[in-house]
Chains A and B, each alone.
Chain A
Amino acid sequence: MVLRGVNLAIHEGECLALVGESGCGKSMTALSILNLLPSPPMEIRSGKILFKKQNLKDLTETDWRKLRGKEIGIIFQEPFTSLNPVIRVGEQIEEVLRIHSNIPVGEIRTSVYRLLTDVGLSDPERISEQYPHQLSGGMCQRVMIAIAIAGNPSLLIADEPTTALDVTVQAQILDLLFQMKEKFRLSVLFITHDLRVVRNHADRVAILYAGQVVEEGPPEKLFDHPQHPYTEGLLESLPEFSHKGRPLYSIPGAVPSPFAPKKGCAFAERCPKVENKCRQLEPDLNEKNKGHWVRCYYPSEK
């Protein structure tokens, strides 16, 4: 199983960051929320996905299509591959507005220009006439954000939205994303492998390991007082100038295969604190301090 018992709640206007290394199940979580898992081989065996009190698992494919794009906006990692290469960007935004909003036909163009301006693209008339390949990566990602917010959603899912971009462009796109969040009071599920980005932007952080949340809490607590040995390990492996000359911590071993689950804690094999108990029975996610949850029998005392 790729995801096991993931419980996440995102409140109104909140940004929840889902953090993990490759193969931990981050994108799977997003795709299952959106009912986009290729099925077969993937299927959701059990669990509920509640969106505004409605269980998304009960929806028909038609309902799904209405929900995606309207109530839930999506931004993926690769701006070039997620835009349609043969359709002008203006038309791509128009389409979303036609399907998901009740803006009168005569006003759609104006709305497209307004959206493009909202996402920081000056000269919207010219931009809307261009094809994705005529725009830079950063501009494409701005267009993706415009499309994602066009249906006036209440939830935005951003899956590694800046990983493919240059560092200075990354910073600008993140700023934009969080401006939009404030402006439209969006809830955001922000999926990333980058701990540094999360620290400055998320309201809550969930660390995913082998398809499970192993720690969850507000960023200050999680970064300054990590409780789970995996979180600690990740933070200590980040290179810093101040750490120069001393070896970095590196978590031994590799992520376990999702297809051969072992009993006990999924991190046991790689954990410096492992005890017998850990190999017997998987720990639950427990609330260690208020709002700070950890899945470990021996959380850090820090």
Chain B
Amino acid sequence: MLLSVRKISKTFPVSRGLLGNPTSFVRALEEVSFDVEQGRITGVVGESGCGKSTLGRCVVGLHEPSEGSVWWGGEDLFKMDVRKRRALQRRFQMVFQNPFASLNPRQKVREILFETLEVHGLLGANERISFTKDLLEKVGLQTGDLEKYPHEFSGGQRQRIGVARALVGQPELIVLDEPVSSLDVSVQASILNLLAGLNRVQKISYLFISHDLKVVGYLSERVMVMYLGRIVEEGLTAQVLQNPRHPYTKVLLAASDGKSVPVKGEPPSPVNKPPGCSFHTRCPYAEKRCFEETQELAVVDQSLKVACWKWDHL
């Protein structure tokens, strides 16, 4: 298995008291487990604050989970020695949401792309130029763009630079954190086409994060729906989108079609999560049991998992 995530939780201290001791905590992730196979696209969808970015960061090692483990090709990421981890790091890359903030404005594209090559001591000086030129063409930019600065590019082009940077180390997995959210639909379409092509031709796997179920559904083979730090439904995209089982997935699906939704209010704060199933405060089907029992993600049908005891009678 290329990537395995086992029961990871992540807690952040939020406010601090007088002595600098944390006084409250956010449970940004709660007991999240899943696998990503070689060459697959796995989508992660959910609303703001549900823990998508935190999950992405844990997967590439930018955050260490408070509990649980992350396995890269059968090796425990947070237990392996530094040398090994550095060597593996280039195979697990991340592309960030904001194409304006994620590139160093003082670096030329060439310097941005060379960085990974230098860190890992890849290729000789002469090969580096031709390698990065090929890379730029692969992501739909021009070789002349090597000598330009990020501000000389549009939002869509910057996101292509972000993708090129992730590709430098010839990764096996790229975590894409909302790579198209800030783009207009026609530009978004061209980036989605690029990503789909790279996956098809080079068999690179993605953990593709978005709040937009349409985008996730278009690109991913499997989908994980998150709510308040937990996966509430996970399965093949066709299963999840055509016959959603969790009440929250049903709501997301309706909302993504521009239809009205049967929920009230907004997601509760992750600092004070409601007991039982976190969705019960907004769920139109909630009963007593939902307030009392945490709902574990359980297999309901072949490879479909749902965290709702009422999944079968909604």
Contacts and interface: CB of A to CB of B under 8 A. Distances in A.
A239 interface: yes
Interface stretch (A31-39, A103-111, A241-249, A292-300): A241-249
B47 A248 contact: no
Contacts of A139: 266
Contacts of B267: 166, 168
A55 interface: no
A196 B192 contact: no
Given A239-B189, A240-B217, A247-B197, 13 more contacts: A139-B266, A166-B47, A166-B48, A172-B264, A193-B185, A197-B258, A237-B189, A238-B185, A240-B214, A240-B218, A241-B214, A243-B218, A244-B218
B186 A21 contact: yes
A237 B266 contact: no
Interface in A221-253: 233-234, 237-241, 243-244, 247-251
B186 A247 contact: no
Contact of B185 (A166, A167, A234, A243): A234
A168 B261 CA distance: 7
Contacts of B122: none
B214 to A, nearest CB: 5
Given A193-B184, A250-B190, A251-B186, A172 B214 contact: no
Interface of B: 47-48, 154, 184-190, 192-193, 196-197, 211-215, 217-219, 237-238, 241-242, 251-252, 254-261, 263-267
Contact of B256 (A138, A167, A174): A167
A242 to B, nearest CB: 9
Contacts of B215: 239
- Specify the main secondary structure of chain A where it touches its partner: helix
B193 A248 contact: yes
A248 B189 contact: yes
B189 A136 contact: no
Nearest to B220: A244
Q: Give the interface SS of chain B, mostly helix, strand, loop or mixed.
A: helix
30 contacts: A21-B186, A138-B265, A166-B48, A167-B256, A168-B263, A171-B254, A171-B258, A171-B259, A171-B260, A175-B260, A193-B185, A197-B258, A198-B258, A199-B258, A200-B259, A234-B185, A234-B186, A237-B186, A238-B185, A239-B217, A239-B218, A240-B214, A241-B214, A241-B217, A241-B237, A243-B218, A244-B217, A248-B190, A250-B189, A251-B186
Contacts of B259: 171, 200
Contacts of B48: 166
Given A238-B214, A241-B218, A168 B185 contact: no
A239 B196 CA distance: 12
Contacts of A244: 217-219, 237
A196 B186 contact: no
B184 A200 contact: no
A201 B258 contact: yes
B189 A168 contact: no
Contact of A169 (B242, B254, B266): B266
A254 interface: yes
A4 B106 CA distance: 38
A239 B213 CA distance: 10
B98 to A, nearest CB: 15
A257 interface: no
Contacts of B47: 166-169
B245 to A, nearest CB: 16
